Amino acid sequence: MFRLGAFDKTKMLTWALAAGAVAITLMLSKFSSLAMIGALAVAAIVFLCFYSLGFCFGLFLLSCTMNQLGFGVGSFHGRPDNFIMIIAFAALFFHIIVRQPKPAFKFILTKETWLIIIYLCYTLVVSRINSPVWHFSVSGILQLAMSTLSLVLITQLYNMKNDIYKYINWYVALGLIQTVYGLICYAYYTATSRYLFEDTLNGLMTGQLGTSVSVRGTFFEANLFSSFIGCTFLLIISVMTLKGSKSKLLYNVGNIILLLAGITLGWTRSVWLGLVVCLLILFMYFGKKFMKPKTIFSVVGIVVCFIPVYYIIQSSFNQTSGVENLFASKINNFFQTDGGSNAFRVDNAVTTLNDWKLAPVLGRGYFSMKFMGDGAWIISSPLAILHDTGIIGSIIMLSLVLVVIFDSIRSIARSRDVRHRTYLIGMFSGFILNLIATCFTTAHTLSMFWVHMGLLIVLNRLTDKRLENKEIAGTKPADAASLQPNIS
C-alpha cells in the first residue's frame, strides 16, 4: 500500500488549509472584483505561516505595528493583527499536533496569562451587571481579549529559545522602518502641503486640537508610534554597550538620530518624559560602560548631529502648522493644564472619575462611558481600568504589572550571560516606557503593548531555565554584530 511520509503529509495538509482559506475568503467577499487578489494573498499567508512557524511570528510582529489599518471580510471588520493572530494560533496548533517536533513544543500558560484570564472574566461579569451599554461592553471585551491573546501567542516563543533574540532584532528593525516611513510622509507634506497617501496610510495625523501635524507611521495615533519608537531607541542604546559594537558605531549613532527625529515629531510629551526615566534606568545598569571614552564620544556626536536636525524640525513644524513658536510652546508649557491637549485630558479625567464614583469597587463596566455617546472614550489606560473594573480590577492589573517588573529585576540581577542580560535591560526599560505612555493613551487595548510584555516574559523565563540547567546561553561572548537589526 502506498503511504505518505510525514513531510509529504504535512505539506499536503498545508496546501489543503491554504485552499480552504481561499474558498472561505471568496465566499465571504461574494466574489467581488478584488476577491481573487485577496484570496491569493490569504492563501500565500496561510501557506507560509503553516509551513514556517518563524515566518508566522515575524509576520505577526509586523501586523501589530499596523493597528491604524482595518479590513473587512463580509460582515467581519478587524485589524491586521487580529487576522494574523488567528492564523498564527492555527499554525501553532498545526505545528504541535501534526508536525510533532522534537524536542516537543509545549503550549505555555504563564502566571501572567492566568491573571489576564481572571481579569477578563471579572470584566465580563461586572459589565453584565453594571454597564448601561452592554452591547458596547461586549464588543470592547472582545477587542481586549483579542489584544491580550497576543501575549499568549508571543510567550510560546519560549519553545524557540535561541530565536527570541532574532525576533527582538526584528522588533527593532520594525521601529526603524516605521520611523523612516513616518519621516518620508512628513517631508512630503512639508514640501507639498499634501499627504503622501490618503486616509489610513498617510503616516501623519493632526494634533494639538488640529493646529499641528504629528508623525504616527501606521499606528492608530502618534502616542503609540512614539512609544514604540522609544522602545526601539532604548534597545539600540543597550546594544551599544556590548563588546564588538565599535565597528557599528556610526550605524548605531545614525539610527539613534533618526529615531530621535521620529520621537520629536511624534509630538508626545509622555514619551519624552518616559525616555528620561528609562535612560536613568539604563544608566543604573550600564553606568560604568556609559562612562567609557567611546560612549562619551558617541553621546557628544549624537548631540552635535541632532542640534541642527532639531532646528530644522522646529522650523518646518511651525511652518506647516501656521502657528509661530508652536513647537517651543510644547516644551515651555510642558506641565500646564489650562490649554491645548493637556486641558482636554484633565477634563476627560474629571468626567471619568465622577462617573467611576457611582461604582468605585466593582467598576462601571467595560466601555460603559459610551453611554455619553458613541465617540466617548477614556484617554488613559490606568483610568480606563479603574473606571471600567473598579478597585478590584485595578488590583488584578496592578498585580500583573508588578509580577512582570519583579521578575524582570530578579532576572537582570541573576543573569550571567552578557547578551541575554543586555536584551533584558533593553526590553525592561521599554516596558517601563510603555507603562508611562499608557497613562496618556489606552494602549492596553492594542496588541503591541502585550507583545512587548510577552517578549519580556519569555526573556525572564529563559533566565530561570538556564540557571536551572546550570548553563549559560552561548559558549562565547555575544558578537554585537549579530545583535544589529537587519532591515535589508
Integer Cα distance of 79 and 66 in angstroms: 8
37 vs 317 pLDDT, higher one: 317
pLDDT digits (tens, 9 = 90+) for 151-177: 999 999 988 766 889 999 999 999 999
Can you tell me the distance from the alpha carbon of 271 to that of 147, in angstroms, rounded to the nearest whole number?
Answer: 22
pLDDT recorded at residue 8: 47
- What percent of the chain shows pLDDT beyond 70? 77
- How far apart, in Å, are the Cα atoms of 234 and each of 138, 321, 424, 456? 37, 30, 11, 14
**Count of CB atoms situated within 10 Å of the CB of 437:** 25
pLDDT in tens, 203-230: 888 765 555 788 999 998 889 999 999 9
Among 275, 267, 269, 265, smallest CA distance to 231 is for 275
Q: What is the full DSSP assignment across 252-272? A: HHHHHHHHHHHHHHTT-HHHH
pLDDT of residue 21: 56
* Per-residue pLDDT reduced to its tens digit, 58-82: 999 999 999 888 765 544 567 888 8
> Position 477: which residue type?
P
pLDDT, mean of residues 277-281: 94
Cβ neighbors of 311 (< 8 A, separation 6 or more) are none
Confidence of residue 371 (pLDDT cuts 50, 70, 90): confident
**Whole-number mean pLDDT of the chain?**
81
pLDDT of residue 50: 75
362 pLDDT band, cuts 50/70/90, is very high
The predicted pLDDT at position 73 comes to 53
Nearest residue to 115 via CA among 363, 390, 398, 388:
398
3-state helix, strand, coil in the chain (%, to 5): 75, 5, 25
State how far the Cα of 166 lies from the Cα of 58, in Å rounded to an integer.
Answer: 9
Torsion of CA 270, 266, 233, 461, to 10 degrees: 60
User: Do 211 and 339 touch, CB atoms closer than 8 A?
Assistant: no
Higher pLDDT residue, 49 or 362?
362
User: What is this structure's pTM?
Assistant: 0.85
Q: Virtual CA dihedral for 29, 34, 37, 41, nearest 10 degrees?
A: -50
Q: So what's the pLDDT on residue 202?
A: 82
pLDDT of residue 2: 31
Residue 323: per-residue pLDDT: 64
Structural domain boundaries of the chain?
6-107, 113-483
Distance from C-alpha of 340 to C-alpha of 24, rounded to nearest angstrom: 48
Instruction: List, for residues 301-316, the tens digit of each pLDDT value.
Output: 888 888 888 788 777 7
* Residues pairing with 73 in the sheet: 76
Contact present, 305 and 259 (Cβ < 8 Å): no
Q: What is the pLDDT of residues 416-444, one digit of tens each?
A: 888 899 999 999 999 999 999 999 888 88
Q: Is the pLDDT of residue 474 over 60?
A: no
pLDDT of residue 205: 84
**Considering only CA atoms, which of 284, 231, 241, 237 is closest in space to residue 262?**
231
Please state which of the ranges 135-139, 153-157, 171-175, 403-407 shows the lowest mean pLDDT.
135-139
Q: Name the grid cell of 372.
A: 455619553
Share of the chain above pLDDT 90, in %: 40
Lowest mean pLDDT across 242-251, 258-267, 350-359, 413-422? 242-251
E strand or H helix at 138:
helix 134-154
Rounded Cα distance between 229 and 259, Å, is 7
Q: How far apart are CA 449 and CA 428, in angstroms?
A: 13
